[in-house]
Amino acid sequence: MNNKLRLGILGGGGDSLIGVLHRVASSMFDQYQIIGGCFNPNPKENKEFADSIGLNPNRVYDTFEIMIEEEMKLPQNERIQVVSVLTPNFLHYPMAKKLLENGFHVICEKPLTTTHADALELQKIQKEKQTAFAVTYTYTGYPIVRQMKEMIRKGVLGKIQKTDMQYYQGWINPIIHDKSLRNSIWRLDPKKAGISSCIGDIGTHAYHMLEYLTGMKVKQVLSDLNHLYSDNELDIDGTVLVRFSDYSKGVIRASQIATGEENGLTVAIYGDKGGFRWEQENPNFLKYFTNDKPLQILKPGHPYLSEFSLQDTKLPPGHPEGIFDSMGNIYNGVARKIKGIDNFEGAFPTLEEGVRGMKFIEKVVESNAKGNIWLSL
């Protein structure tokens, strides 16, 4: 029997983009074999999709509950080992909970849950079960992001004194100014999207990246959010002041009304010895600043990079990594964890990180609602 991990998938059927992303990512290091799952709530479409991607129909299930029940009946060396949860947000919690309770490893799309309380509950179960659990903050998988993390960890930037994260998109601009559109889109409906649009969807990525890279925890936040229209219940833009300490301060800027911006996640981090700037849309170029030497541009695949960064670079320098590679590296991290292969700290975003993400969203919304005041995280 081969040593690939047996992977199940919940959601991601049909034309789902996120489904493609996870399937390709799972294939990148030959670590996983997709075995089955439940891709679609419609049983017929579920079967058809599973067939189209070449799965054995016996392992395709009508519901996630049935999947868990049936898989548990199989001998351990046949049973699905890891399950990717790609369903709408409100389903993450019940699915992840039941998977954890039955000892499955989980790879869960973000946001982890719809409330911080639910997230804490998952964390509690996982601590008991000791399974692997990844939350797919996708952008952390780029080789250059991993290089930043390692260099900061090793002190190359010195003590961090200033951080500035941006996540600017413009996609909601054509929608927000049209009353009927903005009142009908699910992303702006609190019942479906939760308490936040911009911060919940993308601000949380920027926040996670900030803590991921610096290895520090934000202590306090003060936010100023924008809804543009009074009949729009959710934020679509916001600036969050953050403090790691009195010494080290920062800002997180997020927007869905930055007209024309595509997916503008950017990083700027400065320590007393050096600084970094990086842009997700140009992910293979890292600007590294110092006080007195020329600006350096670090690119993936070179021997001058850290082992962590090189581990997940698959081709020689000059062969661009893309977003699939980034997610592939997260899958690789999870596989290495499960297989007990030596792994780097930060190889995949953990459940704890997902939990903090939920807390961040709640506190940012609260700070704004209370008149832009500081709240502890």
Residue 259 has which token pair?
A: 């007209």
Exactly one of 97, 98, 314, 359 binds its own copies (CB under 8 A); which one?
A: 314
**Angle, to 10 degrees, between the axis of helix 143-153 and the axis of helix 204-214?**
50
- Does position 224 interact with its own copies (CB under 8 A)? The reply is yes
- Does position 362 interact with its own copies (CB under 8 A)? The reply is no
CB 120 within 8 A of CB 356: no
Q: Is the peptide bond before 111 cis (omega within 30 degrees of 0)?
A: yes
Site for its own copies in 65-104 (CB under 8 A): none
Q: How far apart are CA 192 and CA 291, in angstroms?
A: 48
Q: How far is the CB of 98 from its own copies (least distance, A)?
A: 27
Residue 363 has which token pair?
A: 């506190």
Q: How far is the CB of 259 from its own copies (least distance, A)?
A: 4
Which is closer to its own copies, CB of 42 or CB of 56?
56
- Does position 309 interact with its own copies (CB under 8 A)? The reply is no
Site for its own copies in 194-223 (CB under 8 A): 222
- Does position 288 interact with its own copies (CB under 8 A)? The reply is yes
What count of residues does the chain have? 377
Q: How far apart are CA 322 and CA 328, in angstroms?
A: 10
- Does position 21 interact with its own copies (CB under 8 A)? The reply is yes
Exactly one of 40, 131, 232, 239 binds its own copies (CB under 8 A); which one?
A: 239
Mask: binding to its own copies, 149-168, rule CB under 8 A, as x and -? --------x---xx-x---x
* 3-class DSSP state of 197: coil
Which is closer to its own copies, CB of 128 or CB of 316?
316
CB 147 within 8 A of CB 306: yes
- Does position 267 interact with its own copies (CB under 8 A)? The reply is no
Q: How far is the CB of 227 from its own copies (least distance, A)?
A: 9
Site for its own copies in 319-358 (CB under 8 A): 319-325, 328
Q: Residue 247 burial by CB count (10 A; 0-12/13-18/19+): exposed, middle or buried? A: exposed
Angle, vertex CA 276, rays to CA 275 and CA 280, nearest 5: 165
Q: How far is the CB of 208 from its own copies (least distance, A)?
A: 17
CB 250 within 8 A of CB 244: yes
Which is closer to its own copies, CB of 47 or CB of 153?
47
